[in-house]
Amino acid sequence: AQSVSQHNHHVILSEAASLELGCNYSYGGTVNLFWYVQYPGQHLQLLLKYFSGDPLVKGIKGFEAEFIKSKFSFNLRKPSVQWSDTAEYFCAVNANGANNLFFGTGTRLTVIP
Amino acid sequence: KAGVTQTPRYLIKTRGQQVTLSCSPISGHRSVSWYQQTPGQGLQFLFEYFSETQRNKGNFPGRFSGRQFSNSRSEMNVSTLELGDSALYLCASSWRTGMETQYFGPGTRLLVL
């Protein structure tokens, strides 16, 4: 079945620690990949996206993600997290010409000052 | 540019009633998609409208319907409400259909009693 998997449900880090959140998808064909973030009490915001080209994409607030086609993965990274990064992070995919997004279950990140 | 706006922000209804939610996309965006977010099921795609036509539909019962107007504004209707329809309903817009970046509104939180 087509799906998007985020294996980390809740991650707790201290400030300045490095972050890597996993995302794997199971769609064949052409895919576009996204990471969205939902800060407490706020709406979903786009962090970064991959459509084509350089598999290492940079987003807002120092986040980056690497698309590894052979592993069907699109992991999110940040070298040094801040307390303000506390939020829920969603990986999403659209595929095969359709505009509907398929979301992972989300990863809640808690950064301890 | 103003973002995606949704009204109302909060709604309380009782079982059996119907509800209409409204979404105004970012200016110039012609595609509007609707998603349901619940703690148990996560973010699930409901449907997409582009040029006043439904382009894509998720796996939801026929009680969930929508429409789009010539100014790209969209409404979503849920008839015969059930307790399980309690959720955050998110609207997202993109400038066209077909694997585009979607920008989300703040959502309408619906509570069914």
Bridge partners of A50, per DSSP, are A33
Angle among Cα A14, A60, A36 to the nearest 5 degrees reads 80
Average pLDDT rounded to a whole number, residues A45-67: 96
Min Cα distance B56 → chain A (Å) is: 7
Residue A93 scores a pLDDT above 90: yes
Whether residues A99 and B104 touch (CB distance < 8 A) is answered with no
Contact list, A95 vs chain B (CB under 8 Å): 99
- The 3-state DSSP class for residue A81 equals coil
Dihedral sign of CA atoms B20, B21, B22, B23 in order: negative
A61 φ/ψ angles, rounded to the nearest 5 degrees? 55, 30
pLDDT over 80 (residue A2): no
Those of residues 22-81 in A touching chain B at CB distance below 8 A are 30, 32, 34, 36, 42-46, 49, 51
Q: What average pLDDT does range B1-19 have in this prediction?
A: 95
pLDDT per residue as tens digits for the range B21-69? 999 999 999 999 999 999 999 999 999 999 999 999 999 999 999 999 9
Give the pLDDT score at A46.
96
Distances in Å between the Cα of A2 and the Cα atoms of A24, A27, A44, A80, A103 are: 11, 6, 23, 33, 11
Quote the mean pLDDT of chain B. Answer: 96
Task: Return the residue of B nearest to A42 by Cα.
Answer: B106
Tokens encoding A9:
């449900």
Cβ of residue A5 closer than 8 Å to a chain B Cβ: no
CA distance B29 to chain A (A): 13
The rounded distance, in Å, linking the Cα atoms of A78 and B91 is: 28
Q: What is the pLDDT of residue A98?
A: 81
CA distances B36 to A48, A100, B28, B100, Å, are: 22, 12, 24, 19
Confidence class for position B100, pLDDT limits 50, 70, 90: confident
Does residue A112 carry a pLDDT above 70? Answer: yes
Contact assignment for A99 to B33 by CB distance below 8 Å: yes
Residues A32-40, mean pLDDT to the nearest whole number: 96
DSSP A26-44: ---S-EEEEEEEE-TTS--
- pLDDT of residue A1 exceeding 80: no
Residue B98: which pLDDT band, with cuts at 50, 70 and 90? confident
> Is the CB of residue B95 less than 8 Å away from at least one CB of chain A?
no
Closest CA to A104 of A17, A37, A18: A37
Residues of chain B with pLDDT > 70, as a percent, come to 99
Inspect the interface and report whether the beta carbons of B42 and A103 lie closer than 8 Å: yes
